[in-house]
Amino acid sequence: MNAHLIERLWKRICQPIDGWLFLLTCVLFVLGLVVLYSASNENPNRLTNKLTFIVFAMSLMWCIANIKPQQLMLFAVPMYVGGLCLLLGVALFGEIVNGSRRWLHIGVTRIQPSEIMKLAVPMMLAWYFQKHEGHIGWRQFVMATVIIALPAAFVLKQPDLGTASLIIFAGVFVIFFAGLPWKVIAVLLIGFASSLPVVWNLLHDYQRRRVLTLLDPTADPLGDGYHIIQSMIAIGSGGIFGKGWLSGTQTHLEFIPERTTDFIFAVYGEEFGLVGNAVLLLLYLCVIMRGLIIAAHASTLFGRLLAGAITLSFFTYAFVNMGMVSGILPVVGVPLPLLSYGGTAMVTILTGFGILMSIHKNRPLLKR
């Protein structure tokens, strides 16, 4: 009797889980714990905290995977409107930390509403295009642009260029999958390139310095260029096979800044080398391929657009972080997905994975 009950319980737990996506996530988590132990100078407290984040985020992923996509659609508008209200609250009453107004106190805790918009924007757009399926034209694309621009403007005002860029990209991915013509995309790219001088003048001083530092980090090796120089030295010194776990000199001599969060890829590259980087890239590629397969097999426009946007947003996380640490992109506060220490980004990513699993699990039920 007990064995039968345990079997039923196990099947109930596994039912909403996509095996491949779950396996890849677990492998990345294990890899992240291994690197974090070295990056934190063998501090067990960091591992304990990250394991707590993992358990919470995994539980949330499982709960969301059990929600049908039709029910997820009902959350799209309230999440978006609620997120905008919270962003307005940040603009009016938010707490200033390190020169940016990003946090909002609610009762006994504080939240960063911009993280909510990373999922709320693509969900809102997918819902909007689903409502206009079969009649998607230039008016819908213009309205979609407004839906993206409102939260992006609030986040840019904080200022938080990194998070605003992720929100914009998440929305643009939905518009792309909705069928925006290539000619329009080309015109927009040309228009963006033409507007770069205007964009440059709108940037804050510290944002301009980050771009200039990207072009020549040696111009200020002990100031703005320090992060990039030290991370590039760490990655380059790793060679083909790396220096070995717990043997990274740049890491353990504390030359690498933010080595447990935004710059953990430098620690990984130094200790595991080019081969380890290739393995990590392969794991990320497998996650992206699995997400795109789920998107391709979704039976509604809402599912296809949302799954595609979540998957490419995950790609953007990885690309921006690796590019930043490698010195090919400006330094922004974007963590390496599933490897960096911290709970906010992990919860956002696994919430997205839960949505992917929901779309995959319920695809037969979505057929018309």
CA angle 298, 304, 308 (to 5 degrees): 120
Q: What is the pLDDT of residue 34?
A: 94
Whole-prediction pTM: 0.91
Tens-place pLDDT, residues 18-64: 989 999 999 999 999 999 999 998 888 989 999 999 999 999 999 99
pLDDT at 142 over 50: yes
Q: Are residues 197 and 118 in the same domain?
A: yes
Tokens (6 digits) for 246: 């717990």
Same domain, 277 and 149: no
Q: Specify the pLDDT at position 367.
A: 44
Can you give the pLDDT at residue 364?
56
Same domain? For 241 and 351 the reply is yes
Q: Mean pLDDT over residues 75-94, rounded? A: 90
Give pLDDT, residue 161: 81
Task: Name the residue type at position 128.
Answer: Y
Say what the pLDDT of residue 222 is: 76
In a domain, residue 11? The reply is no
- Are both 348 and 251 inside the same structural domain? yes
Q: What confidence score (pLDDT) does residue 181 get?
A: 84
Average pLDDT over residues 282-290: 97
**Euclidean distance between CA atoms 44 and 60, whole angstroms:** 24
Residue where one domain finishes, among candidates 177, 202, 227: 202
Q: Which of 181, 202, 223 is the last residue of a domain?
A: 202
Strands 95-97 and 100-106: antiparallel
The rounded distance, in Å, linking the Cα atoms of 360 and 295 is 8
Q: Supply 27's token pair.
A: 């492998």
Distance CA 222, CA 145 (A): 41
The mean-pLDDT minimum among 146-160, 193-207, 254-268, 344-358 falls in 193-207
Tell me what percent of the residues of the chain surpass a pLDDT of 90.
Answer: 51
- Residue 274, pLDDT > 60, answer yes
Asked if pLDDT for residue 368 goes beyond 70, the answer is no
* Band of residue 99 on the pLDDT scale cut at 50, 70, 90: low
pLDDT top residue among 58 and 330: 58
My answer on whether 255 and 363 are in the same domain is yes
Answer for the pair 146, 100: CB distance below 8 angstroms, yes or no.
Answer: no
Alpha-carbon span 347 to 113, nearest angstrom:
13
Number of domains present in the structure of the chain: 2
Does residue 265 sit in the same domain as residue 350?
yes
What's residue 365's pLDDT? 45
Of 96-100, 137-141, 285-289, which gets the smallest average pLDDT? 96-100
Domain span at 149: 79-202
Which one-letter amino acid corresponds to residue 284?
Y
346 inside domain: yes
Q: Are residues 198 and 252 both part of a single domain?
A: no
More confident residue, 365 or 157: 157
% residues pLDDT > 70 (the chain): 96
Same domain, 366 and 223: yes
Give yes or no: residues 263 and 156 share one domain.
no
Residue 366 confidence (pLDDT): 41
Residue 7 belongs to some domain of the structure: no
Task: Return mean pLDDT, the chain.
Answer: 88
DSSP E strands in the chain: the ranges are 95-97, 100-106, 109-111
The last residue of a domain, from among 175, 202, 229: 202
- The radius of gyration computed from the CA coordinates of the chain, to the nearest angstrom, equals 21
Residues 322 and 225 in one domain: yes
For the stretch 201-229, pLDDT in tens is 777 777 787 777 777 787 777 777 888 88
